[in-house]
Chains A and B, each alone.
Chain A
Amino acid sequence: MALITGKKCGDEEMGPLGLETEVAEARTTFDSGKTKGFEWRKSQLQALLRLLQEKEEDMLKVLKEDLGKHRVEAYRDEVGALTKSVDNALLNLKKWMAPEKVSLPLVAVPTVAEIVPEPLGVVLVISSWNFPIGLSLEPMIGAIAAGNAAVLKPSELAPATSEFLAAEVPKYLDCEAIKVIQGGPQVAEQLLDLKWDKIFFTGSAQVGRIVMTAAAKHLTPVTLELGGKCPAIFDSLKSSRDQRMAVGRVAGAKWGSCLGQACIGIDYLLVTDEYAPTLIELLKGVIKEFFSNSEHLARIVNKHHFQRLCNLLQDESVAASVVHGGSVNAEELFIEPTILLNPPLDKEIMTEEIFGPLLPIITLKKIEDSIEFLRARPKPLVIYAFTHDEKFKQRIVDDTSSGCVMFNDTLIQYLCDTIPFGGVGQSGFGQYHGKFSFDNFSNRKPVGRRNFLIEFSFRYPPWNEKKLQLLRHIYRFDYIGFVLCFLGLKR
Chain B
Amino acid sequence: MEGKTSNEVFNREKAEATVKELRQSFRAGKTKTYEWRAAQLEGIARLIKEKESEITQALRSDLAKPEMESYLHEISLAKSACLFALKNLKKWMKPEKVPAAITTFPSSAQIVSEPLGVVLVISAWNYPFLLSIDPVIGAIVAGNAVVLKPSEIAPATSELFAKILPEYVDSSCIKVVEGGVPETTALLEQKWDKIFYTGNGKVGRIVMAAAAKNLTPVSLELGGKSPVLVDSDVNLKVAVKRIAVGKWGCNNGQACIAPDYIITTKSFAPQLVEALKVTLERFYGKNPLESADLSRIVNLNHFKHLTDMLDEENVSDKIVCGGQTDEKQLKIAPTLLLDVPHDSLIMKNEIFGPLLPIVTVDKLEDSFEIINSKSKPLAAYIFTKNKKLEQEFLSNVSAGGILVNDVALHLANLYLPFGGVGESGIGAYHGKFSFDAFSHKKAVLSRGFAGEAGARYPPYTPEKQWILKGLINGSIVALFLALFKRF
Contact = CB atoms under 8 A, between A and B. Distances in A.
B80 A407 contact: no
B23 to A, nearest CB: 12
A407 B445 contact: yes
Contact of A429 (B215, B293, B444, B464): B215
B400 A296 contact: no
B458 A445 contact: no
Interface string B21-46: 00000010100100000000000000
Given A103-B415, A418-B98, A445-B421, A113 B458 contact: no
Contacts of B168: none
A7 interface: no
Given A76-B468, A105-B413, A475-B79, A424 B442 contact: yes
B412 A107 contact: yes
Interface stretch (A177-185, A276-284, A306-314, A456-464): A456-464
A285 interface: no
Contacts of B460: 70-73, 296
Interface stretch (A166-174, A320-328, A360-368, A396-404): A396-404
A431 interface: yes
Contacts of B27: 375
A291 interface: yes
A445 B400 contact: yes
B128 interface: no
B456 A76 contact: yes
B402 A105 contact: no
B401 A118 contact: no
A447 B401 contact: yes
A463 B80 contact: no
Interface string B185-210: 00000000100000001001100110
Interface string A327-338: 000000000000
Given A412-B104, A413-B445, A418-B109, A80 B239 contact: no
B413 A209 contact: no
B450 to A, nearest CB: 10
B283 A429 contact: no
B232 interface: no
Interface string A60-82: 00000000001111011000110
Interface in A430-484: 430-431, 443-452, 455, 459-463, 467-468, 471-472, 475
Contact of A443 (B291, B413, B421): B421
B410 A113 contact: yes
B74 interface: no
Interface in B308-346: none
Interface stretch (B63-71, B144-152, B264-272): B63-71
B405 A450 contact: yes
A83 B472 CA distance: 8
Interface stretch (A19-27, A136-144, A212-220, A339-347): A212-220
B458 A256 contact: yes
Interface string B389-413: 0000011101111111110011011
Interface stretch (A9-17, A127-135, A154-162, A241-249): A241-249
A90 interface: no
B225 interface: no
Interface string B102-135: 0110010101101011000000000000000000
Interface residues of B, number: 104
A447 B446 CA distance: 39
A443 B114 CA distance: 24
Nearest to A462: B293
A212 B208 contact: yes
B452 interface: yes
B160 interface: no
Contacts of A297: 458
A449 B212 contact: no
A415 B465 contact: no
Interface string A278-307: 000000000000111100110000000000
B215 A426 contact: yes
Contact of A216 (B99, B208, B241): B208
Given A108-B413, A197-B422, A296-B460, A408 B449 contact: yes
Interface string A85-101: 00100000000000000
A224 interface: yes
A120 interface: yes
Contact of B103 (A31, A415, A431): A415
A406 interface: yes
B245 A460 contact: yes
Contacts of B396: 33
A246 B442 CA distance: 23
Given A76-B456, A375-B27, A115 B474 contact: no
Nearest to A103: B415
Interface residues of A, number: 107
Contacts of B447: 406-409, 412
A274 to B, nearest CB: 21
B405 A291 contact: no
Interface in B454-476: 456-461, 464-465, 468-469, 472-474
Contacts of A398: 32
Contacts, number: 297
B235 interface: yes
Given A75-B468, A415-B104, A111 B406 contact: yes
B17 interface: no
A104 interface: yes
Interface in B276-332: 282-285, 291, 293
Contact of B413 (A81, A448, A461): A448
B469 A80 contact: yes
A448 B80 CA distance: 19
A118 B376 CA distance: 13
Contact of A402 (B235, B399, B442, B474): B442
B409 A111 contact: yes
A209 B372 CA distance: 31
A18 interface: no
A307 B282 CA distance: 79
Contact of A104 (B211, B415, B464): B415
A468 B283 contact: no
A262 to B, nearest CB: 15
B291 to A, nearest CB: 8
B220 interface: yes
Contacts of B114: 401
B410 A209 contact: no
B110 to A, nearest CB: 8
Contacts of A420: 111, 441, 443
- 7 shortest interchain CB distances as A-B pairs: A72-B460, A212-B212, A296-B458, A216-B208, A419-B443, A446-B416, A463-B68
Given A461-B249, A462-B293, 11 more contacts: A76-B465, A84-B103, A221-B426, A248-B452, A397-B112, A403-B443, A406-B446, A418-B109, A425-B215, A460-B283, A471-B71
Interface of B: 27, 29, 32, 66-68, 71-72, 76, 79-80, 98-101, 103-104, 107, 109, 111-112, 114, 116-117, 193, 201, 204-205, 208-209, 211-213, 215, 217, 220, 222, 234-235, 238-239, 241, 244-245, 249, 282-285, 291, 293, 372, 394-396, 398-406, 409-410, 412-418, 421-423, 425-428, 440-449, 452, 456-461, 464-465, 468-469, 472-474
15 contacts: A102-B413, A113-B415, A118-B398, A120-B421, A239-B449, A409-B107, A412-B445, A418-B99, A445-B398, A448-B416, A450-B405, A450-B409, A455-B241, A461-B249, A468-B68
